[in-house]
Chain A
């Protein structure tokens, strides 16, 4: 599928720029051009497809589905899958949270949505596909969804409602499952221009991060020797996964910037599970998000929420190292 990009990168670097293929510079430049084009192409494709899905299943509709239907335990899975198909913006997490609990959706189910939403998003999927291929991407998506299901379920058992802010508890008490929402009557072709513009907008806004990430990756790719990290972060070191996870929480980066660097870390010997745990903690948990959350819940609840997620991320890191 991507031969044409490799062909173009070879032509550009070796023929036009005249950099020899067997030099470190040539290899790094070729890697940079190839990866940048491939990732941007996939980004547009995936955001476009997700845009179409989202146009037919906007978050209001998903919320109403969750609040109206009895799902006998499957509501955690449904909420988590909905979180995966909804585009994530950290500034939307608080309004989403309120919208859900006000619709009478239990707190644990709301958390299931909230945990998966940043982990599995169109940007992460596109870059994962480009960097690690289909199989690893599928495993990542499934574990991101399972993480939401398990995390939400555990949080639901902890009786956390009293730890919400007063006004949120009041909103919960006055919950109504039927909030009006007018479904768009547009045809598929009428929807397309807005979806295309939105996809362009997303690609445009992350292009710089992709280029910086791949630039760093390309430099490391060309100059860091194979197996370099193995000496420091080996699969045998049992503390590597928790350490990588905890270190990543204060880091705030988006998937676009962090993934190209992680791919090189993996190529140079860091176990994939450790790298994914690091990435999940970087994009799934962030201090700015915690600050926003303070408007709807107490610090104690934020700490519980983050701790549960950290524990599950560490667990999935070990699992990945074991099965991949």
Chain B
């Protein structure tokens, strides 16, 4: 099973990113685990300076902006 990680300290943009990820997973109809990482120390371990960031299977796909649902579907 694939995992999507969304890194963000809980700002509106990060919440939108999680929503988009959930929508993409639902539309694609695949089993994906979505993990939210909100702790700043943990976020820093991913070497991210601008949130939100989204990783799929620990591969950095986007940082510093909200990815669209279509983009996320393309990565799944």
Contacts and interface: CB of A to CB of B under 8 A. Distances in A.
Nearest to A181: B47
Interface string B36-54: 0000110110011111000
A58 interface: yes
B13 A198 contact: no
11 contacts: A59-B64, A63-B49, A91-B51, A92-B51, A94-B40, A95-B43, A99-B47, A100-B49, A194-B65, A197-B68, A198-B65
Given A60-B49, A95-B40, A98-B49, 8 more contacts: A63-B49, A91-B13, A94-B9, A95-B9, A99-B48, A99-B49, A179-B47, A295-B40
Given A60-B49, A98-B40, A91 B65 contact: no
Contacts of B66: 201
Is chain B's interface secondary structure helix, strand, loop, or mixed overall? loop
Contact of A90 (B11, B41, B49): B11
The 3 A-B residue pairs with the shortest CB-CB distance in the complex, in nearest-first order:
A91-B11, A99-B49, A91-B9
Nearest to A182: B60
Nearest to B71: A194
Contacts of B50: 58-59, 89, 92, 95-96
Central interface residue in A92, A100, A179, by most chain B CB within 10 Å: A92
B9 A292 contact: yes
A95 B50 CA distance: 6
A308 to B, nearest CB: 23
A105 B50 CA distance: 17
B57 to A, nearest CB: 17
The contact size tier of chain A is 20 to 34
Central interface residue in A58, A95, A194, by most chain B CB within 10 Å: A95
Contacts of A259: none
Contact of A89 (B41, B48, B51): B51
Interface residues of B, number: 19
Nearest to A205: B12
Contacts of B44: 95, 98-99, 102, 171
A96 B11 contact: no
A171 B13 CA distance: 27
B35 to A, nearest CB: 18
A157 to B, nearest CB: 26
Interface string B6-21: 0011110110000000
A197 B16 CA distance: 15
Contacts of A9: none
Central interface residue in A60, A89, A94, A99, by most chain B CB within 10 Å: A89
Nearest to A54: B64
Interface string A272-298: 000000000000000000001001100
Contacts of B41: 167
Nearest to B10: A91
Contacts of B11: 89-92
Contact of B49 (A59, A171, A194): A59
B59 to A, nearest CB: 12
Contact of B13 (A59, A89, A102, A292): A89
A198 B71 CA distance: 13
Contacts of A90: 11
Nearest to A167: B41
A92 B9 CA distance: 8
B47 A92 contact: no
Nearest to A201: B66
Nearest to A103: B49
Nearest to B43: A95
